[in-house]
Structure 1
Amino acid sequence: MIESGTSTVASPSSRRTRKDWVGLACRLVLGGVLLYAGAVKIGNLEGNVLSVRAYQIEWLPYSMERMIGYSLPILEIILGLLLLAGLFTRVSALVGALTMLAFIAAIGSAWARGLSIDCGCFSQGGETEDPKYLQEILRDAAFFACGAWLAWRPKTPFSVDNWLFRPSTIPHDPDHFAHNDDFDTDEDALVGEDTPR
């Protein structure tokens, strides 16, 4: 706590609420998951292309399958690092949440069409005898919820955003000019003596 005259001003750390800590947890969970998912796939991008192809999405051209297979791990790593650092949190969380929605839609489509594949979220994917679609959808829904929370409330403790985009420290005192003897009126305070009127 910081005392100012007769009033007491709370320090930033003491003003943190439960929602701030929920946001921090969401940021670390979603960021860590995305970073890990990208890291385990970045060493075998061709294998990731095969994982995308395993979904057998007919309207998706071969060139798009390759582009998604190559770019997705890189995107996941970038989003993961940004979220862990708390940099551009709202945008990073929104993109992460939309990515999770895409995963949920793809897994649901594979399930509805009777395919037996691993989702490829944390591995190279491909065919499997024991698909776990429901668990994968529920897991990605939880990660989507983390991203949605951060998109709604991106301010969290220990983030780079707090340092880069901190509010101005100029005190807001509407009576400042009224009690300032250097100026005759508020207009003088804003215009200045040397400014032509």
Structure 2
Amino acid sequence: MARPSVRALDLIGLLVRVGLAAVWLVSGAIKVSDLNQTYIAVQAYDLLPAGAVSVVAAGLPFLELVLGVLVLTGLGTRVVAIVSGIVLLAFIGGVAQSWARGLTIDCGCFGGGGQVTAGETRYPQEIARDIGFLLLAVWLTVRPRSKWSLDGWLTVREVETVDTQGRT
């Protein structure tokens, strides 16, 4: 079986970068547009002390936006992918613990959030979706190289030429 070419893998990396960036940018933009609702969503998880809820609710949208911009531009791709993976694991854990504790909340991942009726919870779908996003972060952690990234542009090295006698 033929292995994918470097060019094909770089293109896949670009698509993964754009996909993960879209997740962070859309999620962050929705949350930043209604910080009060973000506070309600974070509070609904019933995990943090009151003072920490405010800090997380205020900071999370901006963290998501920063991650989105960095991964979209391809700057610090591996580090951004690792941070993305950690954040996504925290989201998955938060949804899973809510489900396990019998809480009836909307995750607030893309706006909304807070208490809902028991029939309105979508924990399995939310976890599956976040696992899909996590796979994007894992790809970029393992293979951060992609087309049109600032990482690639900043690390371009001049190729040395060797003459016929082996001198550079």
- Give, as a single letter, the amino acid of the residue that structure 1 aligns with 2:90: A
Please, what TM-score do these two structures have when normalized by structure 1? 0.77
Once the two structures are superposed, residues 40-69 of structure 1 have per-residue CA deviations (whole angstroms, 9 ceiling, x without a partner) of: 110222321111110111xx2212111110
Match of 1:119 among 107, 120, 123: 107
Count of aligned pairs: 161
Q: Is 2:144 the counterpart of 1:144?
A: no
- Distance in 2, Cα, partners of 1:83 & 1:119: 23
Greater helix proportion? 2
Partner of 1:86: 74
Q: After superposing the two structures, state which structure 1 stretch, 154-163 or 16-25, moved more.
A: 16-25
Two-structure CA RMSD over aligned residues (Å): 1.7
Specify every segment of 5 or more residues in structure 1 that has no aligned partner in the other structure, as ranges. Answer: 1-14, 178-197
Unaligned runs of 5+ in 2: none
Are 1:33 and 2:23 an aligned pair? yes
Larger C-alpha radius of gyration, 1 or 2?
1
Q: Distance in 1 between matches of 2:162 and 2:146?
A: 24
8 A Cα contact 1:104 1:141, kept in partner: yes
Aligned: 1:49 with 2:39: yes
Q: Which moved more, 1:42-51 or 1:152-161?
A: 42-51
Contact 2:18/2:72 (CA < 8 Å) preserved in 1? yes
The one-letter code sitting in structure 2 at the alignment partner of 1:168 is: E
1:1-197 to 2 correspondence within 5 Å? 16-57=6-47, 60-129=48-117, 130-171=120-161, 175-176=166-167
Larger displacement relative to structure 2 (63-72 or 17-26)? 17-26
One-letter amino acid of the counterpart of residue 75, structure 2: L
Q: Distance in 2 between matches of 1:100 and 1:153?
A: 18
TM-score, normalised to structure 2's length?
Answer: 0.89
* Counterpart in the other structure of 1:182: none
Equivalent AA in structure 1 for residue 44 of structure 2: A
Shift of 1:172: 5.7
